[in-house]
Copies of this chain bind each other. A is one copy, B any other.
Amino acid sequence: MAGISGGKNYHHGDLRNALVCAAVDLATEGGPERVVLREAARRVGVSPTAAYRHFDGRGELLRTVRAHARTRLADAMERAAAREPGADDPVLAAERRLGALCRGYVGFAVEHPGLYRAAFQTVRPTGTPVPAARPPEAEIRAFALLAEALEALGRTGGRRCAAGAAAWSAVHGLSLLLLEGPLRRLPAQRRDDVVAATLAMVVAGARAR
């Protein structure tokens, strides 16, 4: 795993970065709950408390992983959309793009379950204060991509955000049901059926608007 952000160069050289990479690996392997300070430090070969020079604690480490994971998710969606063949009909093209983005979303979730869960699971580990209020989903590119695709699909009834959130709900819920919910361990065939049905619902919802 290459460096993620700029780094220092003192004793270790690049501890913050190294810890983030280790933490991302941990999340990839076992989801956010396995992102554990001591283990990250261990993997980097440093004492547990060293991390406190770079992070406010486990919480901030997790938040950093989350940002990373969200970026990778959006990248995966864009790659999926880029692979999608274009179409002459702009509406058809827009529908295809929407579908491809959704498939990219769910595909990422299925391929990197741990990382995906880390991207959204906002479970504050016991007694953490509620974070400051921010404009809701502004910084989440995955959402923006869906909302844009829906907008391109035509009249979203002035409710661009709501429509985007609906589509997002569908792919997010599907991903979680498949990953850690009751649909995990669904045979591949039926899983594809479910994914197809959900995509159909999303597209139908966009059309019907």
Contact = CB atoms under 8 A, between A and B. Distances in A.
A194 interface: yes
Interface residues of A, number: 54
Interface stretch (A14-22, A43-51, A200-208): A200-208
A110 to B, nearest CB: 13
Given A173-B172, A176-B172, A182-B143, A201 B167 contact: yes
Contacts of A126: 30, 33-34
Contact of A197 (B162, B176, B180): B162
A179 to B, nearest CB: 9
Oligomer: number of copies? 2
Contacts of A33: 123, 125-126
A171 B157 CA distance: 21
Nearest to A174: B169
Contact of A162 (B165, B176, B190): B190
A193 interface: yes
A194 B165 contact: yes
Interface stretch (A5-13, A86-94, A132-140): A132-140
A125 B197 CA distance: 32
A163 B31 contact: no
Among A163, A186, A194, A207, find the residue whose CB has the most chain B CB atoms closer than 10 A: A194
A82 interface: no
Contact of A207 (B169, B181, B190, B204): B204
A163 B195 CA distance: 10
Interface of A: 30-31, 33-34, 120-123, 125-126, 133, 136-137, 140, 143, 159, 161-163, 165-177, 180-186, 190, 193-194, 196-198, 200-202, 204-209
9 contacts: A30-B126, A136-B186, A161-B190, A161-B193, A162-B196, A169-B170, A173-B173, A173-B175, A176-B176
